[in-house]
Amino acid sequence: MNRAETNSIWPELPLASWRTTRDTLHMWTQIVGKTLLAHCPIQNHWWHTALRVSPRGLVSGSVLVDGRTLGLELDLVDHVLMIRTSEGRETGMPLIPRTVRSFYKEYVSVLRAIDVDAHIWTMPVEIPDPIRFDQDDVHCDYDAEWAHRFWQVLRRCDAALQGLASSFVGKQSPVHFFWGSFDLAATRFSGRRATPRPGADRVTREAYSHEVISFGFWPGGTTPTGVWVDEPLFYAYAAPEPAGFRDANVQFSAARFDDRLGEFVLPYDAVRATLDPAATVRDFFETVYATGASLGHWDRASLERVPERGSVSFPETRSAFHSPAP
């Protein structure tokens, strides 16, 4: 099998096989992410708090601490949390089966040893029944093979999402890994402010201050409201949701609008079964975007890039679950 064929195969990621590892890793990413929340200057829509997919795992941006620069990376190849500073100091914490409480205690100790204030809010967010990091002896599993496989999926999804950027010239986010919701996401903006949501908390108000259409990948799990999803999936939604959006035909037989989640979803297993998963993902996202932008009366002529004649474009491979509109 040649390299191109190997890279085209997207690995299986059945939630049941790595659920306990997923939940532990979720808490570890929250601990790292809350360090960014504590130290980074605020950016719109909380972009300063997000992690990015790296060639080895999940990495922070540069964190300025007392005139020094700090970098954090959850290396899911060698399974170590690397902590580096602009002074050339480097240390690592092994990613091994251990409780969140043990991980948090060592993390704080390591940061203090390099003179970094490790004061973060210890309460996890965006999960039901949270347990403070310094008290969590429940989440303790870590299977290196499944964590590595998760990263292999993330890097493929990241590449597919990166491929969407060139067709949109309006405001759009980088591809982010949000540690609160434990998903990979990219967002497009119409340029108009959104009507404030009644009773929304500070995080939600900032996240949805403007009209958006977002896409992403989520490995499955339990939502903050207790909705259980037992499979990994791709999602796409519009906020605020325009009239007729959830009833629209997005032309993928495996896709559906999930009323519990309030978004279109396409199962990961359906995507990985196609001849070109990356093209299928992009096609799904672009189809939902076009639906939401049209129904929401976005100024698409100004926001979208028309491909130049003779320019290189993405393959036109269509999903086995896609039927061209008549």
Rounded Cα distance, 250 and 234, in Å: 14
Instruction: Give the predicted TM-score (pTM) of the model.
Output: 0.90
Residues 6+ apart with CB under 8 A from 175: 52, 53, 158, 161, 162, 184, 185, 186
Where on the phi/psi map is residue 88: left (φ > 0), alpha (ψ -120 to 50), or beta? Answer: left
Q: Contact 50/178 with Cβ under 8 angstroms?
A: yes
User: Model confidence over 197-215: pLDDT tens digits?
Assistant: 788 777 777 677 789 999 9
The token duo for 31 is 């601990």
Tell me the DSSP string of 110-149.
Answer: HHHHTT-------S--SSSS---GGG--S-----HHHHHH
Secondary structure (3-state) at 59: strand
Q: What is the pLDDT of residue 159?
A: 96
Q: What is the pLDDT of residue 224?
A: 87
Domain range summary for the chain, segments of one domain joined by +:
16-135, 163-303
Question: Phi then psi for 40, rounded to 5 degrees?
Answer: -90, 145
Q: Contact 141/24 with Cβ under 8 angstroms?
A: yes
User: Model confidence over 120-176: pLDDT tens digits?
Assistant: 899 999 999 999 999 999 999 999 999 999 999 999 999 999 999 999 999 999 999
Rounded Cα distance, 143 and 159, in Å: 25
User: Model confidence over 141-152: pLDDT tens digits?
Assistant: 999 999 999 999
